Structure 1
C-alpha cells in the first residue's frame, strides 16, 4: 500500500482549498496539471480519476492524496458521475518520503515529528474532517494570515493520520520494540554465557516481567527464554568439548552449572 511520510518539523504550506459539487451525472473531471499535493475528501457519489497511469474510483467517505510526481503531472476523469468533495492543495518544506506501508521502514517511522498517511483510505469519522475543512475555508474567507492557514491545513493531515494509520503504526512500533528487546537480551546472554543465567535475573536486569520476556522470546523464536538460554549454553559446551582440553566437569562449572549431573542431563 502506497503511503507518505510527511515531516512536520514545520507546518505544511497551504495553497488553496474549496468544495466541489458536480452539476450533473454527466460531469467528468477535466484534464488539469498537478503542481503540488492534492487532498480529495469525498462526501457524495463516486469520483473517477486517472493519474500517473492509474485509475482511481473514490467513493463517499474516502480520501485520496495525490503527489506531484507523475511525469506529465496531469489528472483527468475517465468516467462521468455525480459527486461532491472537499479539496486541499499544499506543499511541504520539511520533506516527504514515499513509503510501502505493507513493509514500512522501521527507522523512519520512529520519527515522532511526522505523520504517515496512506495515499488512499476510508475515513471512520468523515464528519471530523469535514468540520476541519469548513473551518479552514471560513478562515480563508475571513482573511486569516498565512501562518494560521498553514497550521489549520496541517491539522487536517494530523486528523487523517489519527483516523487511518496511527493505530497500525502503534502496532508496528510494538513489534519493533519486541524485536529490540530480543536483540538486547541475546547480546546480554552471549556476553554472560559463563554466568549462572536465570530468566528472573535477566528480567530484573532489564526491568521486565519474567513471563513477558518469555512470551516475547516465544513469539519471535518459538521457544521460551529458559530454553533459549539452555540452547546457548549447550552450543558453547559443544564448542568447548571440541576445541579445549577441559573436562566435562570443568566445562559444567565454567558455564554456571552448580550440579554436574544436571549439566550432563541437559
Structure 2
C-alpha cells in the first residue's frame, strides 16, 4: 500500500555538509569570499559583484534542494557583510508558499518551480516579478554501488524494488511525473515524500532501493547514494525562481542576498553544486 510520509528535511546548518558540494565548490567559494578570510574588510576581490551596506537578519525561505548551496552562499554573504545573519527555512516549495501566503515573515523566497512561486505572486506577497536563477533536473538515486543494477526508468518497475517519489504537489514530484510519462513508465512507490531531501533520506537509510531526486541532491549526498542519469530527465527540468517578498522585515538585506545569488560568484557556487544555468 502506498503511504504518505511527513518527514521533513533537517534544519539548515551554517557549515557545508561534508563533501556536499565537493572540493571544487570550496575553491569557488573562495572566489566570492574576501581575499583574506581573516580580513573581511579587504578591498581585493575576484568577480563583478559588489557588497552593499546592509545589516541585520535576512530570512530566506528556500526549496529543500537548495539547502547545501544556499547555506554556502549564506556563509559567504555574511563574511562580506559583517553584522548580517542569513537564516534559512528549507522545505517543500508548496509548504513554504503556503506559509508565506499565510503571513509568515520572510525577506526572500526561492522556489523549485514557477508554479509554486505563482501561488505567492497571486497572493500579492512578492515585491516584484520573480527571476529564474537556476534550473535542475532529476536523477535516479540508488543504494551505494547500485546493487540492483538500475540503468534507467524502466528498471524502477522491477519486482520487489522499493521506489520512493516526491509528493505530486511538490516540484520534484511534478517533474517525476513528467519524466515517467515521457518514458512510458508507471511506478507504484512505497511512499510519497513531502520534499526531495526526505525522498533521498529514504535511500540513504536503506528504507528504499531507489528514488527520483534532483541530481544536485545526489551530489550533495557525497557517496551515500549512487546516481543514475537517464535521457528522459530532459523532459522534466525545473526552473527555479527567486523573489523579494512584500512587507519584508529586511527588504534591503533581502535584495542584496538575491543580487548575490544571481551574481557571477553566486552562479559559480550553484553550477558547482550541479545546477544548470537559467
TM-score normalised over the length of structure 2: 0.21
Q: Which has the higher contact order (CA 8 A, sep 6+)?
A: 2
Whichever of the two has the greater Rg, that structure is 1
Higher helix share: 1
Higher strand share: 1
